[in-house]
Amino acid sequence: MIRTLVADDHPLVRMGVCRVLASTPGIRVVGEAASVDALFELLHARECDLLLVDLHMPGSGRTDGVPMLQQLRAQWPALPVLVFTVRDHLSLIEMLSDTGVAGVVLKTAPLRELPRAIVEAHAGSRYFSPSLRAAWHARELQAETVPGRPLTQREREVFELFARGMRVSEVAQRLGRSIKAVSRQKRAAMAKLKLHSPAEAYAYARACGLA
């Protein structure tokens, strides 16, 4: 029996997930949490074999997103963690993978995918929704030439301010740089992170705890 904790701030999502898992032999939901604070309290109070957690659960004293996953990894290094998210940007998925999670399941996927993901993650495999695996494979086949180098300090400063909603002119004034330089650094940061829109930049920055 795989004792599973489910953490998501949306009651209807938790209800749907728990209903599917309750009807699956070999899986038992042993607790639910609606916030990051409640999740950590529950983990301290109850034993489980796997955690299914939403990437974004606002409204807590603790930070959600990648910082949350890093804290979980530090305190419960042997606990398999499956991330349940609507975000399907590959740069974000790569970042999540680097935290050591057992996999990523998209909320846009059928709920019947969850039992398989839980079984595979509990067995020690890493599970990613089929659409994510397909997109990852397609990107590799395209052999993109975007540099994989880390952001420079200046690029990071510009990217963080841009992801918080500031315009290029505002970033330039804030950092004391020319608009042309800031625009160039923003494009370089977006290219390195393989982000294509302000919305993607915000989602990425929020998951990193930068916005």
| Grouped pLDDT means (10 residues each) for the chain, 211 residues | 95 94 95 95 95 89 87 93 83 76 89 92 89 64 48 83 86 85 86 82 74 58
Model pLDDT, residue 9: 93
Q: From the CB of residue 142, how many other CB atoms can be counted at a distance below 10 Å?
A: 8
Model pLDDT, residue 143: 37
Q: Which of 37, 32, 39, 34 is nearest to 61 (CA)?
A: 37
- In the structure encoding, which two tokens stand for residue 138, read together? 């397609």
Model pLDDT, residue 42: 95
Model pLDDT, residue 206: 73
94 Cβ neighbours under 8 A, 6+ residues apart: none
Contact 174/161 with Cβ under 8 angstroms? Answer: yes
DSSP, collapsed to helix, strand or coil, labels residue 30 as strand
Model pLDDT, residue 145: 38
Model pLDDT, residue 142: 47
Instruction: Give strand ranges (E) for the chain.
Output: 2-7, 27-33, 50-54, 81-85, 103-106, 127-128
Contact 53/79 with Cβ under 8 angstroms? Answer: no
pTM summary value: 0.67
119 CB-side CA count, 13 A: 10
- In the structure encoding, which two tokens stand for residue 84, read together? 């349940």
CA–CA–CA angle 182, 185, 190 (5° rounding): 125
**174: alpha, beta or left? (left if phi > 0; alpha if psi -120 to 50):** alpha
Contact 103/128 with Cβ under 8 angstroms? Answer: yes
Model pLDDT, residue 136: 61
